[in-house]
Structure 1
């Protein structure tokens, strides 16, 4: 990488790649050439609280794709990739495990293909993040890359030699739904004590409320912990210890060449100092050398990864 720009992936397939990053609050589109040049980018609010969120999102994505393609010739070939907060069941084609619950149970890929009149490449947003960071971001040059997103939820993805690995059920990398605390909180997935209930901003805030019976954001908990507030320091230390257990266990099972962190909580500096010490404590190796890297592409990773889905076959 040079300067503050990613090394953009060259795609040997069609001339253009359209990427859509569908999030809970924003939806972003990008148009790239197969040489990696950015031609168009737009970000809009994801429809919420409408009478039919699902139909509104289909229309929003259709509009964004049309806007992006308006800057190129209609005769040029292109791919469209979409990153979503969920996975596609390989057997049925429906969305499953979606944090954005109104997506769950829908044939989103097929409905979007029907709406746009074009084949769609679709994958989990954490997979798109991992793909982007593996081929054009912080983990470029590493063979086996595990990407972790820690924000309001906790997801993951696995990229091997620049190709996403989705697994038999399409859930490879769903590290956030591994239970590490049988006495913990119930996760939205139905299990108890998932990593998703621990290594998230909502998880940290929930721990504080349970202990102090009042609301406090994760950001404020971390700030007060640094000022030696007793309760906040205890909760933050538990967060770092849970990080060590979770990532240490991941390394013991997968032993990736690099791990890259994304999401809002990836900006916590202590993850790369105390957090790494805890990882070394819990991993099944005396001298863990696995690089744990902060993302390079920020919140642009998802849309780049979505665009590159069409080159990832």
Structure 2
């Protein structure tokens, strides 16, 4: 049995998978925010609940909104800031009495979809989260590509490429740079762009409903979003040239993206052809926690 945990800012979720990937158990609890020890105990509780319910002991993989530094072994770049600077793997191994494998949550998405999802069988999968934030993960032969410095796939920290004159220098972000992908290609960025234009903060699906009804402002905001996401994907295509892009997060549920992105990317692709598929994550919101379990694949 494989256990996977998705440690998010609002909830911590566990899944138990059989050897063939069938779901055996799932449970979630609220994240004890700003309480590192409380989070460790929440993980311990969930592992115990899963193993009691299934009658089996499992390997444990963990997806977090950050990564472990290869140099220090401490968590870095986590937006759940109370885990930054902590030896999370060692602390969990002490609490649970077993080894754990930890990866960035976007890497877990990539592993999940490369194993038995939208990128199954592909050599290189670039998985993109376009939700509350925008990050990405890379899987090579269904294994997470962490990189020499633990920053493989950290495209959210990069400025949207080929900035247009009216975009420069771009809005500030929590990363400390302007106009970054995380700020402009996330669902949050989509909503804030609409708010800056109209003064109204709407949810993404509400903006899309207006766009589909022919609203010119919503249509303008959507077109701008597609352009920015397309340029960001084109940068990845030129550098990484993956076999498939997989989109996850709330914005990935917009059906129009899969038709509109390829032609918007084409002018920026350094090739005379481009037929890399862009697919929606098969496992949806479950992909991260499933990918954590598959870290022991």
Give the TM bin, normalised by the shorter chain.
Answer: over 0.9
Distance in structure 1 (CA, Å) of the matches to 2:206 and 2:17: 39
Secondary structure at the counterpart of residue 256 of structure 2 = helix
Partner of 1:8: none
In structure 2, runs of 5+ residues without a counterpart are none
Q: How many residues align?
A: 291
1:173 equivalenced with 2:153 (yes/no): yes
How many Å apart are 1:72 and its aligned residue? 5.1
Q: With structure 1 as the length reference, what TM-score do the two structures score?
A: 0.88
Partner of 1:26: 11
Secondary structure at the counterpart of residue 70 of structure 1 = helix
Distance in structure 1 (CA, Å) of the matches to 2:101 and 2:179: 33
Question: Which of 229, 246, 253 lines up with 2:232 in the alignment?
Answer: 246
1:44 equivalenced with 2:26 (yes/no): no
1:190 equivalenced with 2:142 (yes/no): no
Counting only pairs closer than 5 Å after superposition, residues 119-138 of structure 1 correspond to structure 2 as 119-138=99-118
Conserved in 2, the CA contact under 8 Å of 1:280 and 1:286?
Answer: no
Distance in structure 2 (CA, Å) of the matches to 1:117 and 1:216: 46
Conserved in 2, the CA contact under 8 Å of 1:126 and 1:148?
Answer: yes
How many Å apart are 1:240 and its aligned residue? 0.5
Question: Which of 60, 65, 90 lines up with 2:47 in the alignment?
Answer: 65
Partner of 2:127: 147
Question: Which of 234, 237, 260 lines up with 1:274 in the alignment?
Answer: 260
Partner of 1:5: none
CA-based RMSD of the aligned residues comes to 1.6
Conserved in 1, the CA contact under 8 Å of 2:25 and 2:54?
Answer: no
Structure 1 ranges of 4+ moved more than 4 A: none
How many Å apart are 1:251 and its aligned residue? 0.5
Q: Which one is further off, 97-106 or 238-247?
A: 97-106
Distance in structure 1 (CA, Å) of the matches to 2:92 and 2:272: 49
Distance in structure 2 (CA, Å) of the matches to 1:309 and 1:142: 17
C-alpha deviations, 1:174-193, integer Å up to 9, x for none? 11111125511112111111
Conserved in 2, the CA contact under 8 Å of 1:97 and 1:189?
Answer: no
In structure 1, runs of 5+ residues without a counterpart are 1-15
Question: Which of 102, 122, 141 lines up with 1:161 in the alignment?
Answer: 141
C-alpha deviations, 1:79-112, integer Å up to 9, x for none? 1100011111111111111122222222222222
Conserved in 1, the CA contact under 8 Å of 2:60 and 2:293?
Answer: yes
Distance in structure 1 (CA, Å) of the matches to 2:17 and 2:124: 26
Conserved in 2, the CA contact under 8 Å of 1:179 and 1:192?
Answer: yes
How many Å apart are 1:309 and its aligned residue? 0.8
Question: Which of 77, 82, 86 lines up with 1:106 in the alignment?
Answer: 86
Secondary structure at the counterpart of residue 261 of structure 1 = strand
Q: With structure 2 as the length reference, what TM-score do the two structures score?
A: 0.93
